[in-house]
Structure 1
Amino acid sequence: MAFDRNKPYNQLPDLPPTGIELESPVILKQLAKASRYLGELKGLCESLPDPQLLINTLVLQESRDSSAIENIVTTQDELYKATLAGDPIENHSAKEVLSYREALYTGIELMRERQGLIITNTMIEIVQTIKRNNAGIRNVPGTSLKNAINGEVIYTPPTGETIIREKLKALEQFTNGKVPFEADPLIKLAMLHYQFESIHPFADGNGRTGRIINALYLVQQGLLDYPVLYLSSYIVKYKSDYYQLLRGVTEMENWEDWIMYILTAISETSQLTISKIRRMLVLKESLENSMKGVLGASYKHELLQLLFTLPYIKIDILVNHQIAHRQTASVWLSKLVENDILHTKKMGRTTYYINHQLLSILN
């Protein structure tokens, strides 16, 4: 049956596609480039003395960009204020971004608990963490994706929980290597991402869940040890191409352009992430020297670590982390502000101390 965008695409073929050239010279050339930079990123992360310190901050930025693709936009102030334990999170978008970050880490943990497998239940638990509810597989008909401007239907995903579960099971088999298919994992990543987005198994949160699955797959395949790739920054930048190329696969079986898009995204965001990590390392060394000069014998390495884990801090944070008593913390932070190591921002009654140089790198 020919594809009809107005009817549920219950005939969505399982992976892998047949009769399609997936390793053309142009794809292989871009694949080599993406693999090289991704390997460089992995090696850089492995060489970090404390990788989790920088990676937590990068994952938060990925969470912010992935949410922005769904038009969930939060400001820097809202986001970093929301990361501080004890502060009420009043901004809905900031809550969504933090839920995405939690879902990413949840997905990694679930995959490891399940012998490295990415399964349907993992996908469901990811979307439930993102949405903070008990969402499951879509079981109500009538879902369609529409043009936001004119309301035209551009795609109607498969409908019926049984059919959706069957397609997810087939995707599970492909993802976990249970289906014979000889291709590079990065080409498979492009294909499985298309397939998940086309199945569109949930009422909401599909895009974010799909991008988390990308991160899980890179870790599963040993291409990265941490879910650090800044992939959503590329999709945000080329958002219209992203959706157009997804449609191109569905309507014209144009796999080559879609695979090229994903490989280019991996290549460019690997380079971007490498650059950010290197600049963060340089900044960390510079701030350590500056802080030692300003604080003298009272300098504590834990304070430096904190400024890279939480770019926005306040006096209470130092107290709660048992880095300093309140009066001492106030003196230290004031000295760091006087020497332009930190900037301050008043929000309500609270003064926040901001690692502005780190934010400049992240943004």
Structure 2
Amino acid sequence: MDISLFQNSSSGRLVRATGGYWAFVPNPLPPKLEWNDALVSLISRADIAVGTLSGLGENLPNPHLLIYPFIRKEAVLSSRIEGTQSSLSDLLLFETTKVERQRDVREVQNYVKAMEYGLKRLEELPLSLRFIRELHGILMEGVRGEHATPGEFRLSQNWIGPPGCTLDEATFVPPPVPEMLECLDHLEKFLHTRSDLPFLVQLALIHYQFETIHPFLDGNGRIGRLLITLFLCQKGILTRPLLYLSAFFEHHRQEYYELLGKVSQRGYWQEWIEFFLRAVAEQSGDAVSRSRRLLDLHHAYMQLSREKKLSPTARQLIDIIFMRPLLSAKAAAEFLKVSFPGAQKALNALEEKGILIESTGRKRDKAYAAREILDILEKETFE
């Protein structure tokens, strides 16, 4: 790590670790912030965008129509930042048939499990170090990196840099273990202490702090992104978990890492917070747009089901495919609580109307895809 880049930082300090190497230790939150018109305007824009999304989520006739697919889309994109190749279709196919088209699909599924666990856990436990360790244990269970003490903060030094680099060649070295534990204690206090800062600004600070502390040997990025949605739900900023920032971070990956680095090196908080607020505003708008398209499509399908006098089971299945837009007859039977032949009949009815297409080409163990739904979900945010 080039220590000359960090020597004049106002956001933390360099420490010499027992092994003789240098590491960076961030100061406790919150930093001293300077407010200007640009920042205040961005806060307002982000607040309005999140409010629009939250209002949409609150008025959904069935919120699970959007929650299920949006969580899975985020799982794919957040995991992709870490190098996985699985698509949303790969994940959905694995969930319904256990067929692995990509070896890393289990990592993506673990992200879904961690998010769903976290949302339920919020009902009884606020965000805390214990909460974060529990999320990590689920995220890393049985996948690449599982040797990296799932559910436990690191007991050794880690570092960030090009693949295969050594500690001496690292771009950034997070706090050594003793300082890391102290930083985590301060972060937990900040999570639990009432602040006059706008919630979205608090969240930008928390995200920087967690990524800089880097408390796990693996999975830090994914946990940091999970915490964004969980914080928004805990604070009541979102009524439903519909906002995810991974698409923005991935598209602006270089800027994302550079700005995190500039906070550590030069104390450039304003630039980082502005970037984060832009992400919130743009991704809120994207989520609203996709949600409305999905709801319009749902209305069109239900209208078609009435016009064509489809069976009650087939109409029920329309709701199911918005939550699981790729499924088998066995999975449909479980969701609908009907017999296998009854589920197959409903699938055939939707296939006949062009709502579903068979996606495996097999005679047995078929899977059916709701292509129009998947197209809305999988469309790239930035083209």
The two structures share one fold, judged by TM-score above 0.5: yes
Which amino acid letter does the alignment assign opposite residue 300 of structure 2? Answer: S
1:32 aligned to which of 38, 44, 55: 44
Query: Which digits, 9 at most, give the CA deviation of each residue in 1:145-171, with x for residues without a partner?
Result: 0134987421000011x3222111101
Identity rate of aligned residues, in percent? Answer: 28
Distance 1:293 1:317 in 2: 27
- The 5-angstrom pairing of residues 334-353 of structure 1 reads 334-346=348-360, 349-353=364-368
TM-score (structure 2 length as normaliser): 0.86
Distance 1:57 1:299 in 2: 21
Which amino acid letter does the alignment assign opposite residue 140 of structure 2? Answer: K
Preserved CA contact (<8 Å) 1:295 1:332: no
2:299 aligned to which of 271, 285, 306: 285
| Change over 3 Å in CA distance of 1:111–1:339 after alignment to 2 | closer
Preserved CA contact (<8 Å) 1:8 1:157: no
Distance 2:255 2:214 in 1: 19
1:174 aligned to which of 190, 199, 207: 190
1:98 aligned to which of 109, 122, 132: 109
Preserved CA contact (<8 Å) 1:14 1:170: yes
Distance 1:26 1:149 in 2: 40
Which position in structure 2 is the counterpart of 1:360? 375
SS at match of 1:350: coil
SS at match of 2:31: coil
Moved >6 Å (runs of 4+)? none
SS at match of 1:15: coil
Which position in structure 2 is the counterpart of 1:120? 129
2:344 aligned to which of 309, 317, 330: 330
Which amino acid letter does the alignment assign opposite residue 43 of structure 1? Answer: G
- Of 199-208 and 91-100, deviating more is 91-100
- The 5-angstrom pairing of residues 1-363 of structure 1 reads 2=7, 7-18=21-32, 20-21=33-34, 23-84=35-96, 87=98, 91-114=102-125, 117-132=126-141, 134-135=149-150, 136-141=152-157, 143-148=158-163, 152-160=169-177, 162-177=178-193, 181-294=195-308, 296-297=310-311, 300-322=314-336, 324-346=338-360, 349-363=364-378
Residue 17 of structure 1, CA deviation: 1.4
Q: Which runs of 5+ in 2 are unaligned?
A: 1-5, 8-12, 379-383
Residue 227 of structure 1, CA deviation: 2.2
Distance 2:117 2:153 in 1: 19
Preserved CA contact (<8 Å) 1:248 1:254: yes
Distance 2:30 2:116 in 1: 28
Preserved CA contact (<8 Å) 2:76 2:108: yes
| Change over 3 Å in CA distance of 1:111–1:316 after alignment to 2 | closer
SS at match of 1:187: helix
Q: Which runs of 5+ in 1 are unaligned?
A: none
SS at match of 2:358: strand
TM-score (structure 1 length as normaliser): 0.90
RMSD: 2.3
Residue 118 of structure 1, CA deviation: 1.3
Distance 2:308 2:249 in 1: 42
Which amino acid letter does the alignment assign opposite residue 47 of structure 2? Answer: S
